[in-house]
Amino acid sequence: MSEPPAPDRRPAPAAAAPPWLGWVQALQSIAQAGLTYAEDPYDIARYRQVRHLAAEIAADQTGGRGEAIENLFAAAQGYPTPKLYVRAAVIVEGRILLVEERDGGGWSLPGGWADVGESAAEAVVRETHEEAGVDVEAIKLIALLDRARHGHPQHPEYSYKAFFACRPRGPLAPAGGAVAPAGGAVAPAAGAAAPAGGPVAPAASDVAPTAGDETTAAAFFPRSSLPPLSVARVTPAQIEMAFAHDANPERPTEFD
């Protein structure tokens, strides 16, 4: 008797962004730019009306409070530009580092918003340490993608996503020196033998990922046994993209 097929653990495809979201983003962008540069009181009042209209549309479509949404819009200052989100692709011995988000949305590559005053590479290094307890260095920009064009659920803030190939600082367990606990996550085995002529691999406690304040778990997973992903943060196609660049480091950076 044949075994039953394995359950499909792939996330459901993300719904396309509704037209109203694009209208709200465009109206808010016009209002914010106008309020940045307008000097005439009449123009300032009209741009505030445009911002109010954008907030009312968003509230009507989402069931949110118009005042709260308008306050969120009003907090944005200066000429409107996309925000920057960073993600780290840390692949070791064919296994990729993932973190489980505390909000219960699933697993993702370590990452988050870039902070003012740091470069994108510095941001991805910081986020990987904060979310997975792993010190890395960014070695390549894999891709710079428009979030709205790559299958993520809708989001009120317009953003770009920068994916970096990252390398752990310090040695990890060599091939054959890892164990796969239940669930498919992979952690280096303690005291694994180092390859001939190479450094001695540290114990698992020295290199194993650990959850941070915003995550509940962190682990390495083989490509064939990925956990349910948080598609708001990373899609299966983006995981495949990371593995493709790991297999071919000369692959050009992807964009748009």
Measuring CA to CA, how many Å separate 35 from each of 7, 32, 68, 83, 156? 52, 5, 19, 19, 20
- pLDDT tens-digit readout, 90-146: 999 999 999 998 887 899 999 999 998 999 999 999 999 999 999 999 999 999 999
Q: What is residue 185's predicted lDDT score, i.e. its pLDDT?
A: 47
* Phi, psi dihedrals of residue 185, rounded to the nearest 5°: -70, 150
Asked which of 148-152, 156-160, 191-195 is least confident by mean pLDDT, the reply is 191-195
Give the torsion through C-alpha atoms of 130, 132, 136, 140, to 10 deg.
-100
| 3-class DSSP state of 142 | strand
Place of tokens 């962008």: 29
pTM for this prediction: 0.71
- pLDDT tens-digit readout, 199-251: 433 333 345 899 999 999 999 999 999 999 999 899 999 999 999 999 999 99
DSSP 250: T
- pLDDT tens-digit readout, 5-48: 444 444 444 456 688 988 998 999 999 999 999 999 999 999 99
Q: What is residue 105's predicted lDDT score, i.e. its pLDDT?
A: 81
Q: What is residue 18's predicted lDDT score, i.e. its pLDDT?
A: 83
Q: What is residue 15's predicted lDDT score, i.e. its pLDDT?
A: 53
- Residues 6 or more apart whose Cβ sits within 8 Å of residue 91: 97, 165, 242, 243, 246
- pLDDT tens-digit readout, 170-187: 655 333 333 334 344 444
- pLDDT tens-digit readout, 38-80: 999 999 999 999 999 999 999 999 898 999 999 989 988 898 8
- Residues 6 or more apart whose Cβ sits within 8 Å of residue 39: none
Distance CA 102, CA 6 (A): 27
Distance CA 60, CA 58 (A): 5
Helix (H) or strand (E) holding 59: helix 41-62
With vertex at residue 22, the alpha carbon angle to CA 18 and CA 24, rounded to the nearest 5 degrees, is 110
- pLDDT tens-digit readout, 77-103: 898 889 999 999 999 999 999 999 888
144 and 116 in contact (C-beta within 8 Å)? no
173 and 201 in contact (C-beta within 8 Å)? yes
